[in-house]
Chain A
Amino acid sequence: MYAVRLWSVRHARGLNAFYRAFEKALIALHPLWNKIGYEKLEKPFESVERVTKGFLFDCQMCGQCALSSTGMSCPMNCPKNLRNGPCGGVRDNGHCEVKPEMKCVWVQAWEGAARMGLQADHGAKILDVQRTVDNRLKGKSSWLRVVRIAKGLEDQAGNKPKPPAAKPGSTKDLAAVAASVEAKKEGQAA
């Protein structure tokens, strides 16, 4: 809802503080999520996220939430989906070029970021360059993704990490093991 969305920006500081605590709790509960299985949790998490964030921020479920970096003003409500700042078309009254009845999402974002305080890991995150949207993540839970990234289960691009590369020393060992296995096989064959 538009009015609630504006309220959320006015309360960006409190919402951000709440989210930071919430995120910590989510990450701390990783063993539990892992036990249940992230796959199974996807649907219920996604539903809760859709309802709560939909109510508060008109969340569009991009699956890669940037609210903490955009002053609690959801950038996916920008008709151009801009995730790095306003376009040049903002009207003199601070409203959107495309939807004249709507306040510019990025004028709002800067207000929200200023309310959050422009310290390094609060409102100043608005200065981070946001990458292009990963369209594969649309409609998925962004909360679960945050935990998976924090726990090293996937990277920003959603890829599962490759097994750590073998050190130069261990490559030799592996080669030796492989050679002995081969030798055994040959022995059995003979």
Chain B
Amino acid sequence: MNDGQAHFDPAAPLPLLPGHSSGGRLERVLRQGRFAVTAELNPPDSADPRDVYERALVLSEVCDAINATDASGANCHMSSVGICSLLTRAGYAVIMQISCRDRNRIAIQGDVLGAAAMGVANILCLTGDGVQAGDQPAAKPVFDFDSTSLLECITTMRDKGHFLSGRKLTTPPRVFLGAAANPFAPPYEYRAVHIAKKIAAGAQFIQTQYCFDVPLLRKFMDQVREQGLHKKAFFLIGVGPLPSARTARWMKNNVPGVHIPDAIIERMEKAKDQRAEGKQLAIDLIQEIKEIEGVSGVHVMAYRQEEFVNEIIQASGVMRNRQQRRAVEPAATS
């Protein structure tokens, strides 16, 4: 082994290209105009790093970046910082999610620096579900930032090189910034305008909530194109397999912001094998969504069904002509 390999750091960012904000793969794929795929990793309720690596391995073959969720649904799991630390160490491209629910501005700005230092190239700024939605409803909700002011804060740190307080940073965080959109919740007619505001605050890519209603998505994308927002940010549409009609109904009623039309639930009910139908539905949705003008990719969220993600992406044909990668697990974790 030569010296260079001995010091090989899989988390080291790629060289910064002109006009790029980060040294990450996701930004490169998107700016090259290729259809991007991101996938959500279900965080383990465990302190074993292998639980993270096992889940990441199946996702990484078919996606450009892995989302590390930050106690989504206000349920306690391994933290997004922890997951990102493990994944960047192994050379995976990650999108670190930051929710405003649990930490104040002092904690979050520190996390942003720490994340960038570990090699996190993408950050998704979220408001976060209310504490009432999760397993610890007695918790104190923080919401010191909201997603928009958080975006503005990190943009300032990156581009102007100082904290919110004005104190200077010696090395600013080189990150590609994302925001969430939910075109499937009221006020529908203002959802695109709201995204324009997030883009003005610094959002460079948008990941949406689960899409099960393509006509509603089309209406949203019409508004997006009218305002030229698809030229200012990359839109990745959320998709995922429904495991059963019963779960679909439960999600519709209990998961904040998830909208599932009755027709979809009926389609699931009629199917002989509901799990297979859910998978097929996700494939159909991706194929329909990728044809919509202004859509730059999909964001796959397969809760407890990671094994399906590979099949869904392969079958949908969006990764055709793409060389597949396989990340290596670091030896140090055993």
Contacts and interface: CB of A to CB of B under 8 A. Distances in A.
Interface of A: 79-94, 97-98, 104, 106-107, 110-111, 127, 129-133
Given A90-B257, A97-B256, A82 B143 contact: yes
B196 interface: yes
Given A79-B141, A92-B185, A86 B180 contact: no
Contacts of B145: 132
A102 B31 CA distance: 42
Contacts of B180: 88
B186 interface: yes
A180 B144 CA distance: 53
Interface in B164-202: 164, 180-182, 185-187, 189-190, 193-194, 196-198, 200-201
30 contacts: A80-B128, A80-B130, A80-B141, A82-B127, A82-B143, A83-B146, A84-B198, A84-B201, A85-B148, A86-B187, A87-B147, A88-B257, A89-B130, A89-B182, A90-B182, A90-B186, A90-B257, A93-B186, A94-B187, A97-B129, A97-B133, A104-B186, A107-B186, A111-B187, A127-B193, A127-B197, A129-B148, A129-B200, A132-B146, A133-B144
B197 A84 contact: yes
A133 B145 CA distance: 8
5 interchain residue pairs of minimum CB distance = A89-B256, A88-B182, A84-B148, A88-B257, A98-B130
A22 to B, nearest CB: 27
A129 B185 contact: no
Of A82, A88, A110, most buried by chain B (CB within 10 Å of CB) is A88
A110 B164 contact: no
Given A89-B129, A107-B186, A84 B256 contact: no
Contacts of A129: 148-149, 152, 197, 200-201
Classify the interface of chain A: helix, strand, loop or mixed.
Answer: loop
A85 B194 contact: yes
A129 B148 CA distance: 7
A87 B197 CA distance: 13
Nearest to B129: A89
Interface size class of B (residues with CB under 8 A): 35 or more
A130 B180 CA distance: 18
Contacts of B105: 132
Interface of B: 100-101, 105, 127-130, 132-133, 141, 143-149, 152-153, 164, 180-182, 185-187, 189-190, 193-194, 196-198, 200-201, 209, 256-257, 259
A90 B185 contact: yes
B200 A84 contact: no
A145 B149 CA distance: 22
Given A80-B141, A89-B130, A92-B259, A131 B149 contact: yes
Given A94-B186, A97-B257, A107-B187, A85 B149 contact: no
A110 B187 contact: yes
Contacts of A104: 186-187
B147 A84 contact: yes
Contacts of B186: 86, 90-94, 104, 107
B110 to A, nearest CB: 16
Nearest to B152: A129
A44 B127 CA distance: 36
Given A84-B197, A98-B132, A132-B105, 17 more contacts: A80-B130, A81-B146, A84-B147, A84-B148, A84-B149, A85-B148, A85-B194, A86-B194, A88-B185, A89-B133, A91-B186, A97-B256, A110-B190, A111-B187, A127-B197, A129-B201, A132-B144
Contacts of B201: 84, 129
Contacts of A110: 187, 189-190
